[in-house]
Amino acid sequence: MAIQDIYPTALRLLGRPVLVVGGGPVATRRAKGLLDAGARVTVVAPDASAGLRELADAGLLTWEPRTYSSSDVDGVWFVQTATGDPAVDAQVSADAEAQRVWCVNASDHEASAAWTPAVAVVDDVKIAVNAGGDPRRAMALRDAVATALETGDLPLRRRRVPKSDSGQLNHRGSVALVGGGPGDTGLITVRGRRLLGQADVVVADRLGPRELLNELAPDVRVIEVGKTPGHHPVPQADINRILVEEALAGHRVVRLKGGDPYVLGRGGEEAEFCRHHGVEVEVVPGVTSAISVPAAAGIPVTHRGLAKGFSVVTGHEELSEVPARADHTVVLLMGVGQLRESAAALVRAGLPADTPVGIVENGYLPNQRVTIGTAATIADQAEATGVANPAVIVIGDVVRVSPFAPSHFKTADYSTTSPNKPRTSTTRVLTP
């Protein structure tokens, strides 16, 4: 049998009688699959595996502990042979053929009237793969397709939404607040990528993995609600309303955010508003820029011997409650416009003026730029080089670890294996 002879289809066996001949591991797997499809399964075999016995004892299938008889195929819709004896399997297959009943012959795939594909289920999608009678090849292909669906590399989005007899949508709308990470498309979570591939509507921020929007189907609506400092063209109240209205219309809505939706992203407000209006909402954490963007410049927010804790604030917030110490890292988000005032406030609160400060613009993107100075000099450096948002500002001794830090910052080796040893490697300096 060649693969060209196969006509792919799907059997609906709910409530229909089927026959499995054999009681070993293959028969057990096939019987379980048929039960999952809702079939009424009868197993004919002198002996049965422990798994089949358990299913029979639970009343889920009927086991006839005897040898096969030709009359066993009478009145059944489908037959699976799995005795391990080619002669018996051939007889079962011949009897089924005589009664025009589809039969899978496990002993001889070339002579089999039907083939059982390798199957995987992702959401409500069932993947079935035939591979020229090579089951291992079929399983490998099945797994690859399933992985691509689960990771969002292949779209899971519905094109035909089921309706009830009255014409109403059966599918309830939902909202997913997806943290897209700092902007690199490879840093969104697998769950976030998958939900984006299923979306009917995407409510998108200015930041985050914007390139993924180009991969959406043409009929997916993208609603732009991005904000820039001092310019909010779509107020938060309107964003909340859009999410709820689109979900109540039966759409799968993804709110695609930069970073993490619960880290200075107002995701909590959006989730609360959705739940208040009876809309199902899922929160998908993202790689927050507060930690990931410094890492893009080789700056850890904590480091043995340098800092055991860190605070994340926006440049618009008061810094009076933040520890003003070089051994406590301060991460400023959206802080470029008030950098001079923020640095001065920390110095007045006791932060040493020579504390290192790093600014990472466009983290993980091709135009990433790193500027490093001190609390006393960083504002002048930023103005001179034209630092602009999106940028993350890191204040503290952890900046010394960055490979971009000036050489005079690197007075010690802050490793965990040989602390306080002089550095021997040369470093690149990106300061003016």
Rounded to an integer, what distance in angstroms lies between the CA atom of residue 159 and that of residue 104?
33
> Is 250:230 a contact under the CB 8 Å cutoff?
no
Q: Write phi, then psi, for 357 (nearest 5 degrees).
A: -135, 135
Q: How many Å apart are CA 40 and CA 15, to the nearest integer?
A: 6
Cα–Cα distances in angstroms (integers) from residue 100 to residues 3, 10, 94, in the given order:
21, 17, 10
Q: What crossing angle do the helices spanning 267-276 and 236-248 adopt, rounded to 10°? A: 40
Other Cβ atoms less than 10 A from the Cβ of 65: the count is 13
Q: What are phi and psi of 220, to 5 degrees?
A: -80, 125
**CA distances (Å), origin 375, targets 140, 205, 316, 330, 424:** 56, 31, 18, 12, 27
Distances (CA, A) of 103 to 23, 80, 131: 17, 6, 18
Least Cα distance to 21 among 86, 92, 78 occurs for: 92
Q: What residues are annotated to the active site?
A: 205, 227
| Terminal-residue alpha carbon distance, the chain | 72
Q: How far apart are CA 270 and CA 226, in angstroms?
A: 15
Integer angstrom CA distances of residue 65 from 34, 55, 85: 19, 14, 17
User: What are the two backbone dihedrals, phi and then psi, of residue 216, each rounded to the nearest 5 degrees?
Assistant: -70, 155
